Structure 1
């Protein structure tokens, strides 16, 4: 029989324990752990949610990786065409983990109206374009169909629509320059069939989406020439590994670029949230641990006579320490339970009803505070908190070894 566990259970279940001097301090310790778990859950869920949301926005409009020609051009305009006659296109079967590949091309131009003008980039896409990534950001209208004849339907961002006072079904002219600035520019007429908003201003103010055949004609390219390929993969966590494999599977005259390299500043910014989250976790665990140490010390002092009697009856120091560690384990688990119930409940409410919003959506690229947390994060957080608090409680339990049985029995 595990008599240490039996004694710990009797202590926890006794009425004297619940109305003792240590009861308020124990409640404070439990509350500290619960609050710590709540704060840590919110910190991790919002940090991961924001990172995931920003990544999804950028990836939806660029893919996980791009394949293009080696050149020094850092602009958003395709200058040097890539032939579509590639072993990896239209199906990238040579590398496992590639979800989709699509051909795109870009051309800078100026939208012209009677009263305004705005520079933007026409991103040309074809029949292989996967609209499922972009449909989540469509706020009105529909996506065009470029699988048949060439037509002038385009998608523009809400940023451009608001600045130029456009709405669905409106038409406008777009002016494209030529290599020889003395030649008259190309003018194309487009019709708006949909308006999207990614919330990512760098994208919204830069791109509109149209038929890739317009870009090919403006650049005097053949139908088999495009600007670059966008590649989508199954697992973002394997981005660098997939970049290496895809680069090895493409010809030497083509280069690959990950989304993290293309939007380096943005991805470095969202990585800062990891450091903030780690800091919050460390602080909360330390605070919860200190409160539990205080509770255990008070509990030990309150049970000094019991410790003396157990020692007099032949119990070892470790056996008596186990009694109090069992007791502390119960308190930690109680705090973890209520912390998870309240914390996960708050996250669920935010996920379902989007009650909390950013005061400045443009600064964070999203309007609603996003939350995301997998089961593995929850399990690891609880295990890590439990282990850290338990190890911290090993320190005050050493006091039991210093208590003399004779003095402890006389202690009042």
Structure 2
């Protein structure tokens, strides 16, 4: 058996009471609290980022293809969407789905309110499964085989402003030559809490209604929304799409269109990384102090070991083994604490949020076991390396003086 490991084990067994026991508990607690705080922070951050991104992606896809235009109007230039990207979407390895859409500006009028809106026209290809997470009441539009559906899905914000519920009718006026209006039935209400981008102005209708209003052919739309199988490969997907597009078409990443919110989400990652750095610093300082205290407490033992011929390396390894044992106990307790708190929040949603400020009603948890493993390894490696610093004091301990040390 390794001699230094054997001595370390005997020391640990003999320190179940007294001052050393308190020091050990403090070391374990500091590591456990640090790891638990890191796990909770990272899993909440990932949950928050993914929740917001998924809401945006479910509404707009990952990539948008439109016709080049210098116009800043919400209404796009018409494009024939029956292109290779649309027809051969299932043959493209990075693409999961492509759907057509078009926007048209209008005014919704009820008996009491008038509100300017943007109608987003979608068709049978619309990914209702991705959008279902936003649907809080009613159902989605039922598209007929011929003609167009006289149905719309309002946001909760617009429905409250217009004092409208599912089953009510709204009249939408379109300012064009000649002016037109349509009486539409509200069949569903959605909520993304992204009022600045969607909820305050967008209602969803049938794209064929917009085609009729704009005198477009059935194969013409405002653009295409492209969904990517892996959001991490959006750039690669955009590049592959660009190789098969005509030069008059514009490819835009949704993350670029809503760059403010994506930059904000990126800033959250930076803040959590800073928090991890602070936690590591505190844990390392604590471990240095604790090991120095243990060295001071065991000065006589160190002197006796040196007197019988033990090298500085052997004595140092005793305290390193002792410190690593404390770290492993702290990691075990930290995992139980951090993952336990995350599980409770994930299951029962005890901590709520103001959706107007945070775009969601409760603190989200996203399970990323690779991140949990990474945090454990980082804390284990860094704190173990830091243990070497205080053990350097062992080299300066004089055996004769230390044996007389009291």
TM-score, normalization by structure 2:
0.96
User: How many pairs align?
Assistant: 404
1:335-370 per-position Cα deviation (integer Å, ceiling 9, x unaligned): 111111011101111111111012x32121112111
CA contact (8 A) 2:141 2:149 kept: no
Q: Distance in 1 between matches of 2:47 and 2:401?
A: 57
Structure 2: 5+ residue stretches without partners: none
Q: Deviations over 1:275-299 (max 9, x none)?
A: 1101110111111111111111111
1:6 — aligned with what?
Answer: 6
Map residues 226-305 of structure 1 onto 2, 5 A cutoff: 226-305=221-300
- In structure 2, what is the equivalent of residue 47 of structure 1? 45
Q: What is the CA–CA distance in structure 1 between the aligned matches of 2:72 and 2:36, rounded to whole Å?
A: 45
Shift of 1:74: 3.4
- The question of whether the paired residues in 2 share the 8 Å contact of 1:127 and 1:147 is answered with no
Contact 1:22 1:295 (C-alpha < 8 Å) held by counterparts? no
Q: Is the 8 A contact 2:43 2:366 kept in 1?
A: yes
Cα deviation code 1:182-233 (max 9, x no counterpart): x441101100111111111121112111110011111111111010000001
Say yes or no: does 1:383 pair with 2:374. Answer: no
Take 1:61 and 1:92, find their aligned partners in 2: how far apart are those partners?
19
The answer to whether the 8 A contact 2:303-2:400 is kept is: yes
CA contact (8 A) 2:43 2:367 kept: yes
TM-score w.r.t. the length of structure 1 is 0.95
Distance 2:319 2:144 in 1: 72
Task: Deviation per CA, 1:23-55: give whole Å up to 9, x if none.
Answer: 222222211111111211121111111111110
Among residues 59, 68, 71, which one is paired with 1:70 in the alignment?
A: 68
Q: 1:38 aligns with which of 14, 32, 36?
A: 36
List runs of 5+ in structure 1 lacking aligned partners.
none
**Which residue pairs with 2:164 in the alignment?**
166
* CA RMSD, 1 decimal: 1.3
Deviation at 1:22, TM superposition (A): 2.6
Within a 5 Å distance, the mapping from 1:13-412 to structure 2 comes to: 13-14=13-14, 17-78=15-76, 80-93=77-90, 95-146=92-143, 148-149=145-146, 150-178=148-176, 183-201=177-195, 202-358=197-353, 360-412=354-406
Deviations 1:125-179 (CA, angstroms, capped at 9, x unpaired): 111111001111111111122251222011111111111011111111100111x
Deviation, 1:93, is 4.4
Q: Give the distance between the partners of 2:103 and 2:47, measured in 1 at CA.
A: 31
Paired residues of 1:199 and 1:367 also in contact (CA < 8 A) = no
